[in-house]
Amino acid sequence: MVRVRYAPSPTGFQHIGGVRTALYNYFFAKSQGGKFIVRVEDTDRERYSDEYLKDLYDTLEWLGIKSDEGPTVGGPFAPYIQSERLPMYQQAAHNLVKMGKAYYCFCSPERLEQVIAEQKAQKKDIQGYDRHCASLSEAEALERIKKGEKYVIRLRVPETGESSFDDLILGRIKRKNRDVPPDPILLKSDGYPTYHLANVVDDHDMQITHIMRAQEWIASTPLHILIYDAFGWTPPMYCHLPMVMGSDGLKLSKRHGSTSLREFKEQGYLKEALINYVTLVGWSYDDKTEFFSMEMLEKCFDIKKIHTSPAVFDYKKLDWFNGQYIRMKSSEELASLILPYMKKAGIQITREEINSYIPLIKERIKVLSDAPKMLSFFFSEPQYSEKESFLAKKQPIEEAVNMLRVAKEVAKGNEDIENSLSEYAKENAIKFNNVFMPLRVAITGSPISPPLGDILRLLPRETIVNRIEKALDYLNK
């Protein structure tokens, strides 16, 4: 039975790379008829915040990723929050000491700093803890603990040999034990485990079969293998996921654009688009299929198809997917999705009223938060910012003014404005754009807008005439 876990640390808002890790684990579990477990790795208390933990739960819920076991649903290995499992790690660490695989260290932070400073000054090739307490006898150590001395527990890293593991994506990976940092801390003086200890103990206890996690953790894996060895446990299978990069080849970060799921969500990316696109960052089914629903991925996700090379997060491609998914929505659904964005932009509009505007934007909107901008001129007067913006290509301003005068007369009558002006353009051999660009800017304030004909049919005649007058005043100033 496949058992995988998503094990985030609530030290920030859910990053889109983390979301991908969650999705891959979830899809892999589903496709194998296995279990998807959520485990909160909250042992870094300094960077922890309740807000981040809530963001984790909100993210999974919004995406529709249901856990089979985890903090919100419980399960046979509860608790699934590391800070509630401290006695287990303490017990495990002390067991290792008894087995001779770990030892108590009483060195003060000052002493450790001094050791490192000396190593640096002497340019030693191995830097780190000098194994000062490795040879203390157990009796002596227990005596000092009894007296109330503070201690940590450190792993005894073998000084020779090597540790290796098979990664399902990257193949066999080996590391000389002497290259593993000497004797890392497993249990801190405040009784908290380090990430390494807690991670290994939990993956073992929770019977995890495959560890799918970001490639940035691969540097820790040889140490984890040593911890499994020390306990006499068999490590799970590993599958380190390709890094998520920006277009410049650097790890995806703020400088590239949004990175947290909540930002994408706020901007109005649909979960369907995010799930589809994010899954394709580093995975593909074949070289042609682009559209994947959650249900499809739950069936066809295949670990062997994860790419080995780093993946580039392409914001434009995500926009494209989002547009596609928006257009797949019914107008009703889209109206419901857009309504909150209108409200947030201060536009008071009812669910009924918004319906008539949906056809205007459905074919061109990229993210839901674009809607208020695209429709703002329906609800407030357009502002004109430069005369040139009214002009079609190479159009003299006098002609633009003229076209607005013609449009004004047409608007005062009863005929369909768009049709009448098209006729006028044909009869007088004037390019359509030379007729409609000045009008578009007069009505909407922008050279880019939803189809003008539709706008003219929705706005009251009086408003149209007023705006044309206002634009004429502006151009004649």
Q: Could you tell which of ligand GLU, Zn ion, none binds residue 133, using a CB distance below 5 to 8 A set by kind?
A: Zn ion
Q: Which is nearer to ligand GLU, 56 or 105 (CB)?
A: 56
x/- string (CB under 6 A) for ligand GLU, residues 364-403?
A: ----------------------------------------
Q: Which is nearer to Zn ion, 112 or 397 (CB)?
A: 112
Amino acid type, 208: I
CB of 154 to Zn ion, least distance (A): 7
List the structure tokens of 349.
């509009």
Binders of Zn ion among residues 116 to 175 (CB under 5 A) are 132-133
CB of 311 to ligand GLU, least distance (A): 17
Q: Could you tell which of ligand GLU, Zn ion, none binds residue 9, using a CB distance below 5 to 8 A set by kind?
A: ligand GLU
Phi and psi torsions of 95, nearest 5°: -60, -40
| 418 near ligand GLU, judged by CB under 6 A | no
List the structure tokens of 337.
């999705």
Q: What is the 3-state secondary structure (H, E, C) of the chain?
A: CCEEEECCCCCCCCEHHHHHHHHHHHHHHHHCCCEEEECECCCCCCCCCHHHHHHHHHHHHHHCCCCCEECCCECCCCCCEHHHCHHHHHHHHHHHHHCCCEEEECCCHHHHHHHHHHHHHCCCCCCCCCCCCCCCCHHHHHHHHHCCCCCEEEECCCCCCEEEEEECCCEEEEEEHHHCCCCCEEECCCCCECHHHHHHHHHHHCCCCEEEEEHHHHHHHHHHHHHHHHHCCCCCEEEEECCEECCCCCECCHHHCCCEHHHHHHHCCCHHHHHHHHHHCCECCCCCCCCCCHHHHHHHCCHHHECCCCEECCHHHHHHHHHHHHHHCCHHHHHHHHHHHHHHCCCCCCHHHHHCCHHHHCCCCCCCCHHHHHHHHHHCCCCCCCHHHHCCCCCCHHHHHHHHHHHHHHHHCCCCHHHHHHHHHHHCCCCHHHHHHHHHHHHHCCCCCCCHHHHHHHCCHHHHHHHHHHHHHHHHC
Residue from 3, 9, 259, 410 touching ligand GLU (CB under 6 A): that is 9
Closest alpha carbon to 39 in 90, 91, 4, 1: 4
Give dist(CA 193, CA 211) in Å, integer: 20
Q: Which is nearer to Zn ion, 88 or 134 (CB)?
A: 134
List the structure tokens of 196.
């390494």
> Would you name the residues annotated as active-site residues?
254
CB of 132 to Zn ion, least distance (A): 4
Q: Could you tell which of Zn ion, ligand GLU, none binds residue 8, using a CB distance below 5 to 8 A set by kind?
A: ligand GLU
CB of 8 to ligand GLU, least distance (A): 5
CB of 25 to ligand GLU, least distance (A): 9
| 199 near ligand GLU, judged by CB under 6 A | yes
CB of 203 to ligand GLU, least distance (A): 8
Which of these ranges, 1-9, 226-234, 326-334, 465-473, lies near ligand GLU under the rule CB under 6 A? 1-9
Amino acid type, 362: K
CB distance 418 to 452 below 8 Å: yes
CB of 9 to ligand GLU, least distance (A): 4
Q: Which is nearer to ligand GLU, 67 or 199 (CB)?
A: 199
Select the residue whose beta carbon is closest to ligand GLU and give its number. Answer: 213
| 186 near Zn ion, judged by CB under 5 A | no
CB of 163 to ligand GLU, least distance (A): 17
First to last CA, the chain: 77
Which of these ranges, 111-119, 211-219, 248-256, 391-399, lies near ligand GLU under the rule CB under 6 A? 211-219
CB of 45 to Zn ion, least distance (A): 23
List the structure tokens of 138.
């157990």
Interface with ligand GLU (CB under 6 A), residue total 8
Q: Could you tell which of ligand GLU, Zn ion, none binds residue 440, using a CB distance below 5 to 8 A set by kind?
A: none
| 107 near Zn ion, judged by CB under 5 A | yes
Which of these ranges, 5-13, 111-119, 120-128, 225-233, lies near ligand GLU under the rule CB under 6 A? 5-13
x/- string (CB under 6 A) for ligand GLU, residues 35-74?
A: ------x---------------------------------
Q: Which is nearer to ligand GLU, 35 or 213 (CB)?
A: 213
Q: Could you tell which of ligand GLU, Zn ion, none binds residue 7, using a CB distance below 5 to 8 A set by kind?
A: ligand GLU
Q: Which is nearer to ligand GLU, 217 or 424 (CB)?
A: 217
| 194 near ligand GLU, judged by CB under 6 A | no
Residue from 105, 225, 294, 411 touching Zn ion (CB under 5 A): that is 105
Q: Which residues of this protein are in contact with ligand GLU, per CB under 6 A?
A: 7-9, 41, 199, 211, 213, 217
